[in-house]
Amino acid sequence: MPVSVTLPALGESVTEGTVTRWLKAEGERVEADEPLLEVSTDKVDTEIPAPAAGVLTNIRVAEDETVEVGAELATIDDGTGAAAAPAAPAAEPAPAAEPAPAAPAPAQAEAPAPAAPAPAAPAPSGGAASGTDVVLPALGESVTEGTVTRWLKAVGESVEADEPLLEVSTDKVDTEIPAPVSGTLLEITVGEDEVAEVGGKLGVIGAADAAPAAPAPAPAAAPAPAAPEPAPAPAPAPAPAPAAQAPAPAPAPAPAAPAPAPAAPAPAQAPAAPAAEGAYVTPLVRKLASENGVDLNTVTGSGVGGRIRKQDVLAAAEAAKAAAAAPAPAAPAAKAPAAQAPSPLRGQTVKLTRIRKVIAQNMMKALHNQAQLSTVVEVDVTRIMKLRARAKESFLAREGVKLSPMPFFVKAAAEALKVHPAVNAKLNDDDTVTYHDVENIGIAVDSDKGLMVPVIKGAGDLSIAGIAKKTAELAGKVRSGKLSPDDMSGGTFTISNTGSRGALFDTIIVNYPQVAELGIGATVRRPVVIDHPELGETIAVRDMVYLTLSYDHQLVDGADAARYLTDVKARLEAGEFEGELGL
């Protein structure tokens, strides 16, 4: 029976989406919840999963076409695909139960031990046709391909569903690809150090009882008895050890043995220690470590599962340089950051990532549709810094999150928005203005993928603790790549902490279609003139920060901006947050 694939709701203000890529072709079999296509909106790029298992029979919306939410994208025949699967030869596009082309093995598909299937070229034959394809999943919005760095299982070995099967490296992340089903690895179609496109076939997994079909590399004239599961080992080894490609001696229970063996001389043993802890190192990272003299055994990985990434190696190299300069007087140590490793992008021409394209389009749209202007004020946040220093330990123990200065700025900005509606508004195409009745504040975050703006919904009704918890939650989602479209939609005002990288202030571009955005500069301790109640005008060391408000001059005047910033400044300089901090 046909099952309709429709474009789901992708956020509060998203009404349409553009199909950027189909991950399956017509006639291919899909599993329920398997990524089926990719869709791009003005908020986010995301994958649409298959609503049911079956065969993709009709694609109604081609790539680069735009449709509205709820529109039908394709249909899936859930009956034909199910009937084809039990019939041994049914490959992905062939719903008929006929035995595929007159290939060597269809007649023996029911027997667990067919005669050795042809090496790797005739993929459509025997075991491959009756198995489940292992495909390269989407690994990020701008990732189109990946390099297989290591197979964790050899042909003929049994695997469990969701068990790590191979490792793939992309320009964004190094990750493990899990097995889609339980069974036996019948075929590897993409070898180590080879590149595959997203959605490309990497290998084939067959039913567990069809396991012995797989020993591709062999003169295996006598198939081993069907009972022991390790029969797929190469012919010379009758022992029940799952002998993979490398000469790993024993079937030790720990999965530390299958390290890649690309015939590297001495460094081939270097990954032994990280492998023992499950932290595989890609060839790119290993090469970078060798060039910078970094011992990988001393590096703590920041990637998924403790994976060591390029950034970790570069940080370790910088730390080593700083340590080498430490015995000298303090002045040379301060110059250590100057000796940074050159960027690997030097001299290269690369394709613009999809998220960078979206950011660029939104920036140009904002500049072309708004008359943008910026106003700057200077704020003394000494009281805020002292309050935070007094409360941070008890706050962490009570609320479970760290207390940064950011929640104070968000709180002050949200309170002032209630009094200055023109700053928290939207200009409509029909020459009307919508003044929002809620303060949904987006927080601009610099991530590996590009600029992300997750939204704190109802920030004007949250306490300092509520804002801190929500900020920590959204920051965690940015780091793990788990932001949903809803997390990034519905914002009415944006705050950008440009000072986190040391900038004193920045003339930000407004996050269109909002009409204003607040920039927070770096907090700097410096001498300023203050009016002391007893000493009169005197010079003191204070914590100072610049706040910049960029706004659309079509709706917001300079006086409106100044009044808004003055209220934010007054709230922060008063520093009256003791009640919320329990002081």
Tokens linked to 554: 């079509």
Of the ranges 139-153, 240-254, 338-352, 558-572, which is most confident?
A: 558-572
What's 166-230 look like in SS3? EEEECCCCEEEEECCCCEEEEEECCCCCCEEECCCEEEEEECHHHHHHCCCCCCCCCCCCCCCCC
Q: How does DSSP classify residue 244?
A: -
Q: What are phi and psi of 286, to 5 degrees?
A: -65, -40
pLDDT at 16: 85
Alpha carbon distance 487, 490 (integer Å): 8
The 10s digit of each residue's pLDDT in 358-387 is 888 889 999 999 999 999 999 999 999 999
pLDDT at 560: 96
What CATH fold (topology level) applies to the domain 1-96?
OB fold (Dihydrolipoamide Acetyltransferase, E2P) (2.40.50)
Give me the sign of the Cα torsion angle 170, 176, 179, 185. Answer: positive
Mean pLDDT lowest among 208-222, 383-397, 417-431:
208-222
Task: Name every residue whose Cβ is closer than 8 Å to that of residue 248 and which is 6 or more positions away in sequence.
Answer: 257, 258
Q: Are 356 and 450 in contact (CB under 8 A)?
A: yes
On the question of pLDDT at 36 being above 80, the answer is: yes
Residue 111, amino acid: A
Q: What is the CATH number of domain 268-325?
A: 4.10.320.10
Q: Are 141 and 195 in contact (CB under 8 A)?
A: no
Do the first three CATH levels of 1-96 and 355-581 match, i.e. the same topology?
no
Residue 329, amino acid: P
- Nearest to residue 29, comparing CAs of 120, 101, 90, 109? 90
pLDDT at 486: 85
54 versus 280: the higher-pLDDT residue is 54
Task: Name every residue whose Cβ is closer than 8 Å to that of residue 321 and which is 6 or more positions away in sequence.
Answer: 336, 339
Q: Tell me the average pLDDT across 47-62.
A: 87
Is residue 486 part of the annotated active site? The answer reads no
Give percent of the chain above pLDDT 90: 33
pLDDT at 281: 65
181 versus 279: the higher-pLDDT residue is 181
pLDDT at 334: 53
pLDDT at 284: 66
Q: Tell me the average pLDDT across 3-20.
A: 82
135 versus 353: the higher-pLDDT residue is 135
pLDDT band at 320 (very low <50, low <70, confident <90, very high): confident
On the question of pLDDT at 101 being above 60, the answer is: no
325 versus 425: the higher-pLDDT residue is 425
Alpha carbon distance 307, 63 (integer Å): 35
CATH fourth-level superfamily of 355-581:
Chloramphenicol acetyltransferase-like domain (3.30.559.10)
What's 108-161 look like in SS3? HCCCCCCCCCCCCCCCCCHHHHCCEEEECCCCCCCCCEEEEEEECCCCCCEECC
Mean pLDDT lowest among 45-59, 243-257, 413-427:
243-257
Q: Which candidate in 193, 553, 560, 567 is catalytic? A: 553
On the question of pLDDT at 517 being above 60, the answer is: yes
Tokens linked to 439: 């303060």
The 10s digit of each residue's pLDDT in 167-182 is 887 765 667 788 888 8
295 versus 231: the higher-pLDDT residue is 295
The 10s digit of each residue's pLDDT in 128-162 is 446 889 998 887 655 688 888 889 999 889 988 88
pLDDT band at 433 (very low <50, low <70, confident <90, very high): very high
Q: Is 273 exposed, middle or buried (0-12, 13-18, 19+ CB in 10 A)?
A: middle
Q: Enumerate the domain spans of the chain.
A: 1-96, 268-325, 355-581
Per DSSP, the three-state class of 17 is strand
Taking phi over 0 as left and psi of -120 to 50 as alpha, with beta for the rest, 303 belongs to beta
Q: Find the angle CA(278)-CA(255)-CA(133) to the nearest 5 degrees.
A: 95
Alpha helices per DSSP H over 485-542: none
Task: Name every residue whose Cβ is closer than 8 Å to that of residue 244 and which is 6 or more positions away in sequence.
Answer: 153, 154, 157, 257, 258
Q: Which candidate in 64, 193, 209, 557 is catalytic? A: 557
The 10s digit of each residue's pLDDT in 65-75 is 888 888 999 99
The 10s digit of each residue's pLDDT in 443-491 is 988 887 778 899 999 999 999 999 999 999 998 888 887 888 888 889 9
Q: What are phi and psi of 131, to 5 degrees?
A: -105, -175
Q: Are 295 and 272 in contact (CB under 8 A)?
A: no
On the question of pLDDT at 203 being above 60, the answer is: yes
Alpha carbon distance 307, 299 (integer Å): 10
Is residue 174 part of the annotated active site? The answer reads no
